[in-house]
Structure 1
Amino acid sequence: MRQSRALWLLDRVEREPRADTMIDALRTGIRSLPLGRGRDALHGRWLGHPVHPLMVQVPIGSWLSAAVLDLRPGRSREARLLVGVGLAAAAPAALAGAVDWAELHRQQQRVGLVHALTNAAAVGLYAASLACRVKGREAAGRAYGFLGLTAVGLGGALGGHLAYRQASGANHAEDVPHVVSEGWHRIGTVDEFPAGQPVRRSVDDVPVLVVREPGGTIHALAERCSHLSGPLSEGTVADGCVQCPWHGSVFRLSDGWNVRGPATAPQPAFETRIVDGHVDVRLAQEPAAKEGNTDRTRTHVEVGTTHGHGS
């Protein structure tokens, strides 16, 4: 079966570098916005997944409802209200999408730029629709509205490509609990893990980050960042956390909790033990604790003749 024309065009967009200079400028500008803690809120860290797909339901739903009312006589006032609601809701939804877009891979950003431009065209068409409706030019307002809905549909298709084909916003560590076999896995001797240094090991072909604290406690997390699979073993370890070197997500070593985004999902954590100077790990039996909870059971177990995690 031949590849569809639409998919061929999308693949071309992913490989097209001519807009990369614009992408770099936009990404720098978005990253420099003084959003503070609001940045993580826009990423959706509080929700556990990106908030942008949730926010776009308001403008899309409003505009679709307006289109339905436009097909019925005597509903122009209600349709005008819905068009206005959609326009008001589009701005915060676009901001959330832009904050996510600035932390994506280049191929994703190329498609995302076209997605944003298409949605911007939709907003422009709906703004024209509202202006015509306010002036009493209902026929023109309806025409602009249907054109805007067409642009929204195209933008939605591009957003679906981003989410499902390119996996932007997906949890890239979700598969770990399904592929790591049960039980303890030996990953090396204590001496192989210098204090304070991230070390990469493998369990059932799954990369694992191992960090031994100066006090001797050993932590182990899935090594590929849940945001976009960045190598945490190449990141920075400080204050009981590891920072991804690609986009700056910060995870707590003790349980994998995502302390700071853009990651919206925690890292799968492993329990650790030392037996006769060797380090064993197994997938933790309980989910990561909620932020700020310091009363959870520790995921570090000492077993055998070695008393303490020091070398």
Structure 2
Amino acid sequence: MRRVLTRLEQASGLDRVSDRLQRAIDRSFGPKRVRDVLHGVWLGHPLHPALVQVPVGAWLSAAVLDLMPGQRRAATVLVATGTAAALPAAITGANDWASLSREQRRVGLVHAISNTVGLALYTGSLAARLTGRHGSGRALAYLGLAAASGGAYLGGHLAYKQGAGVNQSTPSLHRITEGWHPVADLASLPESTLVAKQVDEVPVLVYRDSDHVTVMLARCAHQNGPLDHGTIVSSNGHACVVCPWHGSAFRLADGTVAAGPAATDQQVLRSRVVGGVLEAQLP
């Protein structure tokens, strides 16, 4: 399986379809505020994995009931529930997929195809059950579960091996040792300006707003973009840094995500000023 997945990651032949589909999603998924809702910015982490639980849970439960006598009606209700819930899960997944890197999109494309096949089989299963062909309905449902399970496996590979949807900056925290670390002389920090520094060789972004100073990890939570090369904008009265790579925005006061595609906050270090020197430590 490792060899198969590696070949899938390197399958550049998928890029022509992937690039066209990405452009189509970017054109059709509405304004940025709508896409931020679909990304899960309001939730604090990606929305897609949360919505996936409903169809997966309903379909697995239906598979169990299909093995038990007298449970046709309950199994049909669960198949219908899972099939209906798969649509919002698919929409949020497509929205997230369009903001991934090319290698991630290759795996994500096959993930989506597998899940689409599973959804089509479950739709056929539901139609068969509603017309009294419960044997065919069960058979189609088990085929659908197999396809959806394959899609789920690829989804796990996307998240755990390729890091899609996870906070890319947090692992940098493990490279910072315990205790307070000097960052810069406070007097040398200009106000309302992005300043690049390091803590234990980990890049950080320093921003001074009068007496308040923020020390934030400098690599974007979404795809490790360089926030120290970003721009400062105002969002709902808060100064935010915008990543130059994909446009994710984070409040400079506390790292809260203000705009996607990032769905998780940017990690901020604890800071203090001692003898005119700005110091930082792990949160």
TM-score, normalised with respect to structure 2: 0.88
Alpha carbons of structure 1 residues 34 and 191: separation in structure 2 relative to 1, 3 Å: same
Partner SS for 2:215: strand
Q: Which has the higher contact order (CA 8 A, sep 6+)?
A: 2
Structure 1: which 5+ runs fail to align?
1-5, 286-311
CA contact (8 A) 1:219 1:272 kept: no
- Give the Cα–Cα distance (whole angstroms) in 2 for the partners of residues 70 and 267 of structure 1: 46
Alpha carbons of structure 1 residues 217 and 67: separation in structure 2 relative to 1, 3 Å: closer
Q: Render the CA deviation track for 1:255-295: whole Å, top value 9, x for unaligned.
A: 2111112222222224254856xx5230375xxxxxxxxxx
- Give the Cα–Cα distance (whole angstroms) in 2 for the partners of residues 183 and 138 of structure 1: 65
Please, which moves more after superposition, 129-138 or 157-166? Answer: 129-138
* Corresponding residue of 1:10: 5
1:39 to partner: Cα distance = 2.2
1:188 to partner: Cα distance = 4.5
1:20 to partner: Cα distance = 1.1
- Give the Cα–Cα distance (whole angstroms) in 1 for the partners of residues 258 and 185 of structure 2: 30
User: 4+ residue runs of structure 1 moved beyond 4 angstroms?
Assistant: 188-197, 215-218
CA contact (8 A) 1:44 1:51 kept: yes
- Give the Cα–Cα distance (whole angstroms) in 1 for the partners of residues 87 and 55 of structure 2: 9
Please, which moves more after superposition, 159-168 or 31-40? Answer: 31-40
- Give the Cα–Cα distance (whole angstroms) in 2 for the partners of residues 50 and 23 of structure 1: 21
Aligned partner letter, 1:282: A
* Corresponding residue of 1:267: 266
1:248 to partner: Cα distance = 1.1
1:185 to partner: Cα distance = 3.0
Aligned partner letter, 2:256: W
- Give the Cα–Cα distance (whole angstroms) in 2 for the partners of residues 219 and 139 of structure 1: 63
* Corresponding residue of 2:85: 89
- Give the Cα–Cα distance (whole angstroms) in 1 for the partners of residues 4 and 82 of structure 2: 29
- Give the Cα–Cα distance (whole angstroms) in 1 for the partners of residues 63 and 155 of structure 2: 21
Aligned partner letter, 1:92: P
1:112 to partner: Cα distance = 0.5
TM-score, normalised with respect to structure 1: 0.81
1:28 to partner: Cα distance = 2.0
CA contact (8 A) 1:177 1:283 kept: no
How many residue pairs were aligned? Answer: 277
Q: Render the CA deviation track for 1:85-138: whole Å, top value 9, x for unaligned.
A: 111000001111111111111111110100000000001111111111222222
- Give the Cα–Cα distance (whole angstroms) in 1 for the partners of residues 211 and 132 of structure 2: 75
Partner SS for 1:37: helix
- Give the Cα–Cα distance (whole angstroms) in 2 for the partners of residues 152 and 62 of structure 1: 12
Structure 2: which 5+ runs fail to align?
none
* Corresponding residue of 1:243: 242
CA contact (8 A) 1:272 1:282 kept: yes
CA contact (8 A) 2:179 2:282 kept: no
1:229 to partner: Cα distance = 1.4
Please tell me whether residue 25 in structure 1 is matched to residue 46 in structure 2: no
Matches within 5 A, 1:93-172: 93-172=89-168
Alpha carbons of structure 1 residues 134 and 205: separation in structure 2 relative to 1, 3 Å: same
CA contact (8 A) 1:172 1:229 kept: yes
1:206 to partner: Cα distance = 0.9
Alpha carbons of structure 1 residues 102 and 175: separation in structure 2 relative to 1, 3 Å: same
Q: Considering fraction of residues, name the structure with more helix.
A: 2
Please, which moves more after superposition, 184-193 or 158-167? Answer: 184-193
CA contact (8 A) 2:58 2:82 kept: yes
Please, which moves more after superposition, 109-118 or 135-144? Answer: 135-144
CA contact (8 A) 2:46 2:264 kept: no
1:216 to partner: Cα distance = 8.3
Task: Choose from 55, 60, 84 the match for 2:56.
Answer: 60
1:58 to partner: Cα distance = 1.0
* Corresponding residue of 1:283: 281
1:182 to partner: Cα distance = 4.1
- Identical aligned pairs, as a percentage? 47
Alpha carbons of structure 1 residues 122 and 141: separation in structure 2 relative to 1, 3 Å: same
Aligned partner letter, 1:102: A
1:217 to partner: Cα distance = 6.1
Please tell me whether residue 185 in structure 1 is matched to residue 205 in structure 2: no
Task: Look at both structures and tell me which one has the larger radius of gyration over its CA atoms.
Answer: 1
1:148 to partner: Cα distance = 0.4
* Corresponding residue of 1:302: none
